[in-house]
Amino acid sequence: MPDIRHQDAHAGVALKAAFEGIDHWIFDLDNTLYPAECNLFRQIDARMASFIEARLGLGAPESRRLQKDYYVRYGTTLNGLMHEHDVPPEDFLSFVHDIDLSVVARNDRLAALIGDLPGRKFVFTNGTLAHAENVIDRLGLDGAFDDIVDIVASGYAPKPHGTAYRRFIDRVGALPEKSAMFEDIAINLQEPSFLGMRTVLVASEADWMADEPSDRRPARKSHVGELDYIHHVTDDLAAFLGGIAPAGAEEPEWRQT
Ligand SMILES: [Mg+2]
């Protein structure tokens, strides 16, 4: 099956080997650390359209069209609103992150697996620090990360723009060739791969971003494609991390699930 490459017959040993020496682990937040199917980001997506409707006085269809046009052209909807309409980023970000986090379930297994990874761990998100901290708290991942690099820390330069990654690397001091990055949006892994990072696409069955280009929306399991900058694909982040964990790192109870 091409959609879950890490489960290929001989992949177990090869997979561990592919991550040997990695000591910087970089995780996207939304739809990566929690499953896209919980629809948390769908709430954010809808809030973005509502913000545009109210701020620009547009109808719903035109707001949605503009939202996705800016997303594709500027990397984030916010970046387009800042450039084209001088929208204060704080107004937008506080509005779109006012959401119901109860749909995000605690994930103790993921916390244990991230805790066992050797080296430093980071969240690198186009969202805000406050949103990241809220989600991390819901997941039970408090204390799991050495740093959270948000869109403000990135100077509002979003992934997939190269500036965002350069600022990230400068801030945390990561060596790309000793770094691995996990993301649900394929295009956000292009620059990391170019820089020398190992890339993991976290796919899902979420289908609520059908009006976004396939490499810019949460990746479907069927959308592995032939993208040479995607080194690994999984639909279960915790299972994937379990597969690359050093021998004995996982608690036995996790292996039974
Ligand atoms: Mg994401």
178 & 52 share domain? no
Residues 53, 110 share a domain: no
Distance 24 CA to ligand 1 centre (A): 18
Tokens 């899902």 sit at which residue? 204
Q: Distance, CA 17 to ligand 1 centroid (Å)?
A: 26
Residues with Cβ within 8 Å of residue 57, at least 6 apart in sequence: none
Predicted TM-score (pTM) of the model is: 0.89
- CATH number, domain of 49, equals 1.10.150.450
Which residues, at least 6 apart from 74, have a Cβ–Cβ distance to it below 8 Å? 80, 83, 158
pLDDT for residue 129 is more than 50: yes
Distance 89 CA to ligand 1 centre (A): 19
Least-confidence region, from 65-79, 200-214, 238-252: 238-252
The answer on 144 and 212 residing in a single domain is: yes
Compute the distance from residue 252 Cα to the ligand 1 centre, in Å.
Answer: 30
Query: Do 126 and 241 fall within a single domain?
Result: yes
Centroid of ligand 1 to alpha carbon of 186 (angstroms) = 10
**What's the CA-to-centroid distance between 27 and ligand 1, angstroms?**
9
Amino acid at 83: H
Rg (C-alpha) for the chain, rounded Å, is 18
The CA 248 to ligand 1 mean position distance, Å, reads 30
Domain that holds residue 66: 40-96
How many angstroms does the Cα of residue 32 sit away from the middle of ligand 1?
5
Percent of the chain with pLDDT over 70: 89
Tell me: do 110 and 222 sit in the same domain: yes
Of the listed ranges 100-114, 200-214, 238-252, the least confidently predicted one is 238-252
Which CATH number does the domain housing residue 112 bear?
3.40.50.1000
Residues 226 and 241 in one domain: yes
Claim to verify: residue 129 and residue 239 sit in the same structural domain = yes
Q: Which two tokens stand for residue 154?
A: 């990135």
The yes-or-no verdict on residue 114 having pLDDT over 70 is: yes
Spatial separation of the C-alpha atoms in residues 255 and 226, rounded to whole Å: 31
- The yes-or-no verdict on residue 249 having pLDDT over 70 is no
Kindly report, residue by residue over 85-101, the tens digit of the pLDDT.
Answer: 999 999 999 999 999 99
Distance 30 CA to ligand 1 centre (A): 4
Task: Give yes or no for a cis peptide into 61 (omega within 30° of 0).
Answer: no
Query: Structurally, how many domains does the chain consist of?
Result: 2
Question: Residues 115, 177: one domain?
Answer: yes
According to the model, what pLDDT value does residue 8 have?
A: 53
Q: Ligand 1 centre and the CA of 217: distance in Å?
A: 8
Ligand 1 center to 34 CA (angstroms): 9
How many Å lie between the centroid of ligand 1 and the Cα of residue 184?
A: 5
d(CA 182, CA 25): 8
pLDDT tens digit string along 173-191? 999 999 999 999 999 999 9
Q: How far is the CA of 5 from the centre of ligand 1 (A)?
A: 20
177-235: pLDDT as tens digits: 999 999 999 999 999 999 999 999 999 988 777 778 888 888 887 666 678 999 999 99
- Collapsed DSSP state (helix, strand, coil) of residue 48: helix
- The pLDDT value recorded for residue 11 is 67
Tell me how far the alpha carbon of residue 162 lies from the centroid of ligand 1, in angstroms. 17
* Ligand 1 center–CA 1 separation, angstroms: 24
Instruction: Give residue 2's pLDDT.
Output: 41
Question: At 205, which amino acid appears?
Answer: E
Residue bearing tokens 């956000």: 188
From ligand 1's centre to the CA of 31, what distance in Å? 5
Distance 6 CA to ligand 1 centre (A): 21
Q: Which residue's entry shows tokens 């919980």? A: 38
- pLDDT number for residue 87: 97
